[in-house]
Amino acid sequence: MSVLLNKNSKVIVQGFTGTEGSFHASQMIEYGTQVVGGVTPGKGGSSHLDRPVFNTVAEAAKNTGANVSIIFVPPAFAADAIMESADAGVELIVCITEGIPVQDMVKVKNYLQGKSSRLIGPNCPGVITAEEAKVGIMPGFIFKKGRIGVVSKSGTLTYEAADQVVKAGLGISTAIGIGGDPIIGTTTKEAVELFMNDDATDGIIMIGEIGGGMEAEAARWIKENNRKPVVGFIAGQTAPPGRRMGHAGAIIGGAEDTAAAKMKILRECGVHVVESPANIGKTMADVLKK
């Protein structure tokens, strides 16, 4: 079992023939992901990377049996691309696009209510089940198979955590980069819940950052439902209040938004908090030995 994604997942690429879509689709295919086709309006009926191109997601899903889509389209069209995938019944939608207007994501969030689709992102590195499949832009060679799940707001810290875990003699079951925008599809709590219920995951790494309340929400859920060790890291410990740091959602707006406040809440809820990302792997290894 794995979370969200495995070697049998069938993936289509929205924005397939564009520069970004072409490059990352090639990388995903090389990793072993079953990329079964792509969508570029107006280019339906053609072939790209030895895969069929369709005009719509509905056509692509019907003809390929795809249950996963990944979106590489410009910000102005990304919301429509997400909703089109949901309309086609795609189970997992991964949106890589950065810079989608917040108002567009409000519309998407409301639109997805009651739909069977799960959205990861936007502005995220995607999802990878180590040595099986990757749907995203992460460097696959870092992720070695194991039994530690990673949920992270940050792309680069996802890779750092995976590297630390592997160097500690462990490995990754699945890593989920949820994105750092103010409004995203799958929250930290929802991702942690997936790992907590996954038989192939023994421990969870939760990487958050300043801004918003998702880490506190996840920590309080962990306190009530904890069955596996959770190691946490919060980025932005030196960030000044009121200044956005990197991600659109990384801005301290309230008392619980600071790194110190979040770390305190995590500790109170039983999460093993590390001060530096360099200690993530070692801490998880130590905790699992207890």
Cα 94 to the center of its chain, rounded Å: 8
DSSP string, 214-245: HHHHHHHHHHHH--S-EEEEEE-TTPPTT---
Residue 182 and residue 99 in contact, taking contact as beta carbons nearer than 8 Å: no
Residue with tokens 């102005």: 76
Which residues pair with residue 148 across a beta bridge? 172, 203
CA atoms within 13 A on the CB side of 82: 31
Which residues pair with residue 128 across a beta bridge? 134, 175
Q: Is 247 a catalytic residue?
A: yes
Residue with tokens 């520069």: 19
The one catalytic residue among 24, 48, 247, 272? 247
Cα–Cα dist 125/34, whole Å:
18
Catalytically active residues are 247
